Structure 1
Amino acid sequence: MFDETKTPYVSLGEREGIEKLVTTFYRLVGQDPLLSPLFPDDLTETAYKQTQFLSQFFGGPPLYTEEFGHPMLRMRHMPFPITNSHAKAWLSCMEQAMATHNLEPELKNFLLSRLKMTAYHMVNTEDSERGENADTV
């Protein structure tokens, strides 16, 4: 059972656990036809930054901020066209990665609820097939 007295960072296995999750996640992103064009072919730096960010985001040390400054996520993602469909696909890859690592359902649901807010906050472009952001929750 998910121990709410621990930070998600600790519950995930600290940096090592987050690195494993991020590695699996980016393997899935690299195979996703909607997401892979948004990312570089070599995901090494992207995965590193994501590990630094998630460590901090899930209650661990402020690794991302110490190395790169304030995350400013929306600003950093503005150069990339991100639609609701992209956010949904990103979350699906993360959910699959979590399932691969057998996260406890309570922990998985908690993490996804936090990530869902962030993923949809990155949306900056309408889905072209419908001309609207119809997939928002």
Structure 2
Amino acid sequence: MNEIRRGTLSEETFFEQVGGEPTFRRLVHRFYQGVAEDELLRPMYPEEDLGPAEERFTLFLMQYWGGPRTYSEQRGHPRLRMRHVPFKVDRAAHDAWLKHMRVAVDELGLPAEAEQQLWDYLTYAAASMINTEG
């Protein structure tokens, strides 16, 4: 039983494997630097300052990948599609979102396998947010 327990304790979450909170903060901050200058995406963030959106997205990604559950404690179930319904998310918005996220992911310099795992999720998530033809 000790071997099983030791094995379980030594298995890191993806969150831990990629460097924990600092990595996700860098990822999301760099992403929002791109969004701030994007004329298609910026209007989808009605707040004057992108800081609150950046914080929410950071907390969501950290929780999703095995970090603290702060997002759910503060905001409840993510309900991502529902939260994005007020915004027209079409193929152009999808592509712009992924363009900025690609830059952010690349700048992290993650090991290839971790980068691919993260990118696979992000491309899946982006596709699932499309709610408008065009």
> How many Å apart are 1:32 and its aligned residue?
2.1
Instruction: Give unpaired runs (5+ residues) of structure 1.
Output: 128-137
Equivalent residue for 1:29?
Answer: 35
> In structure 1, the residue corresponding to 2:87 is in which secondary structure?
coil
User: After TM superposition, which residue ranges in structure 1, 4 or more long, deviate above 4 angstroms?
Assistant: none
- TM-score normalized by the length of structure 2: 0.84
> How many Å apart are 1:125 and its aligned residue?
0.8
Residues 11, 41 of structure 1: alpha-carbon distance in 2 compared, 3 angstrom cutoff: farther
> How many Å apart are 1:6 and its aligned residue?
3.1
Q: Is 2:83 the partner of 1:86?
A: no
> How many Å apart are 1:33 and its aligned residue?
2.7
Report the AA paired with residue 124 of structure 1.
N
| RMSD, matched Cα | 1.4
Structure index of larger Rg = 2
Which residue of 115, 119, 122 maps to 2:122?
115
- TM-score normalized by the length of structure 1: 0.82
Instruction: Give unpaired runs (5+ residues) of structure 2.
Output: 1-10
Q: Is 2:13 the partner of 1:7?
A: yes
Distance in 1, matches of 2:90 and 2:22, equals 31
Equivalent residue for 1:134?
Answer: none
Deviations 1:87-132 (A, max 9, x none): 12212211110112212222111111111111111111111xxxxx
Distance in 2, matches of 1:59 and 1:38, equals 28
